[in-house]
Amino acid sequence: MSIILTPEDEEELWQESYETTHWSNGWEESYHYPKQLGTGYTIGCTLRDGLDLKLRDYELQENVKWKDIESPVKSTQMLSFFVAGNINTVLHGLTNEVSENAGGNYFASTSGLKETEEWFGGQRYVRVKVMFETDRLFGNLGGAELAQLPPKLRQIIETGTIKPHYRQGVNTPAIQAVLQQILHCPYQDLMKRMYLESRAQDLIVLQFTQFAELNTATAQPFLKPDDIDRIHQARDILICHLDQPPSLLELARQVKLNDCKLKQGFRQIFGTTVFGYFRDYRMERSRQLLQNQEMTISGVAAEIGYASTTSFADAFKRKFGISPKAYQLTHRKGRQLFV
């Protein structure tokens, strides 16, 4: 059973919370989630004219359904990345009920639409949202450059008409790494703003690249269901042998594919190379292990196959923009560097 809230309820609850908890330094602001419903906060950042970032971290006490929330009419495009928590949503007149689950994302414009969202009690919700004005970021593009953008965005630029749209994607290992860099930003003040602007642009690039690859998927070699199963099996073998991964030829032999089909199929299904997937997964696994207070940095390094703690620390910092020690200390204090 869900608590059902109308647009009027939403406005009243958020206004009360905003008035009592709002903080701002000019380009960054924060305010708490309505205490009647749960705990958490929203952080908003104006990175530059036409580019904003929003972080939401909530935990609800009970199931809540926000009913018929109306989006304002504006030209903003949104990329929303789901780090934790699952919700159900309907964009009335555009989608049926869809699930927005951790590990996924969407690219959308909901200008003027009414939306119903159902959030579930007992879950932690972490979302990172990038919002941008099309004309400010891409208005000067033309020709070959314009052709590289997603069709919906290209149509907006070419016609000047904004129509609601919604498209889901997945958080690839590269996207996950950038999200963690945002959530654990190691800088303050101007450097923080510049760092977050760069990471927000990284998310735009990575998501648009993913959509471009999906759009050309029909031109790629057809994979039989059995081939797809074998490629997923290869992925599982890599994950189970982080400390001693097989060579590409050995991996292909184990799943009974030739190495060429394995490489092509891996990129087609997972959007990256075999080595790239292994490297990104290994770093993500190390980040999870560092959250365990019983694990040492050297122990984490050994767990994922690094003989040298220094080499592991260098690789971790390249991936997440923070050292393993700093990440571990931050997590143990129960806070994020972003806050």
Q: Is the pLDDT of residue 190 over 50?
A: yes
Write down the CATH number for the domain with range 3-215.
Answer: 2.60.120.10
Per-residue model confidence as pLDDT tens digits over 277-332: 888 888 888 988 888 878 899 999 999 999 999 999 999 988 877 889 988 887 66
Q: Is the pLDDT of residue 187 over 70?
A: yes
Nearest to 119, CA basis, from 77, 169, 69: 69
As a whole number of angstroms, the distance between CA 119 and CA 205 comes to 29
Asked whether the beta carbons of 231 and 258 are under 8 A apart, the reply is no
Percent of the chain with pLDDT over 70: 94
Say how many Å lie between the first and final Cα of the chain, rounded: 33
Per-residue model confidence as pLDDT tens digits over 44-60: 999 999 999 999 999 99
The single residue listed with the structure tokens 């780090």 is 83
Q: Is the pLDDT of residue 218 over 80?
A: no
Asked whether the beta carbons of 297 and 290 are under 8 A apart, the reply is yes
> Where are the domains positioned within the chain?
3-215, 220-332
pLDDT of residue 337: 41
DSSP secondary structure of 271-318: SS-HHHHHHHHHHHHHHHHHTSTT--HHHHHHHTT-S-HHHHHHHHHH
Per-residue model confidence as pLDDT tens digits over 71-101: 877 778 999 999 988 999 999 999 989 989 8
The pLDDT mean for the chain works out to 87
DSSP 219: G
What is the pLDDT averaged over residues 136-142? 78
Superfamily covering domain 220-332: Homeodomain-like (1.10.10.60)
Q: Is the pLDDT of residue 338 over 60?
A: no
Residue 221: band (very low, low, confident or very high) from pLDDT cuts 50, 70, 90: low
What is the pLDDT averaged over residues 180-189? 89
In terms of DSSP bridges, do strands 104-109 and 76-84 run parallel, antiparallel, or are they unpaired? antiparallel
pLDDT of residue 220: 56
Lowest mean pLDDT, pick from 36-50, 104-118, 257-271: 257-271
Percent of the chain with pLDDT over 90: 47
Residue 222: band (very low, low, confident or very high) from pLDDT cuts 50, 70, 90: low
Lowest mean pLDDT, pick from 17-21, 63-67, 281-285: 281-285
